[in-house]
Amino acid sequence: MTDWLELSVEVDPEAVEPVSELFARTGYNGGVVVEQPLIVPPNEYPDWSALQQPEIDPTRPVSVRTYIADDGEAPGKRRELEAALWHLGQLRQVGSLNARVCKEEDWANAWKDYYGIQRMGERVVIKP
């Protein structure tokens, strides 16, 4: 199995689109994850239907991530991204590129570890 390199950066909300485009050109299958910071209202309501939806916090940076195979080409791709992010950083607020190695998992079966047996009535049982 292949290990993966998670590349992430925190950016100004105005820089999300160009950084996402840059990551899509490099990342596996063009995949990009954008995590916007949320303002979560306090849980003051006992009724779930009365909960408010969280809002995006425009004052905090946005996290943008992509994944590349951790192989012989990874260091070159990482250097290219760092150089491109430096150039974008001359126009907008762009943080430094962070990297983390992620082990490949068998996702088709890994979810079963967190999903327990559920009984749905007298005769129906859902079991992973």
User: How confident is the model over 59-105, as pLDDT tens digits?
Assistant: 999 999 999 999 999 999 999 999 999 999 999 999 999 999 988 77
Q: Which residues pair with 102 in a beta bridge?
A: 4
6 vs 35: CA distance, rounded Å: 14
Q: pTM to 2 decimals? A: 0.73
What number of other Cβ atoms are within 10 A of residue 76's Cβ?
9
Residue type, 55: E
Task: Tell me what the mean pLDDT of segment 18-31 comes to.
Answer: 92
Q: How many Cα atoms are found within 13 Å in the side-chain-facing hemisphere of 89?
A: 13
126 vs 119: CA distance, rounded Å: 6
Query: Residue 118: its pLDDT value, please?
Result: 80
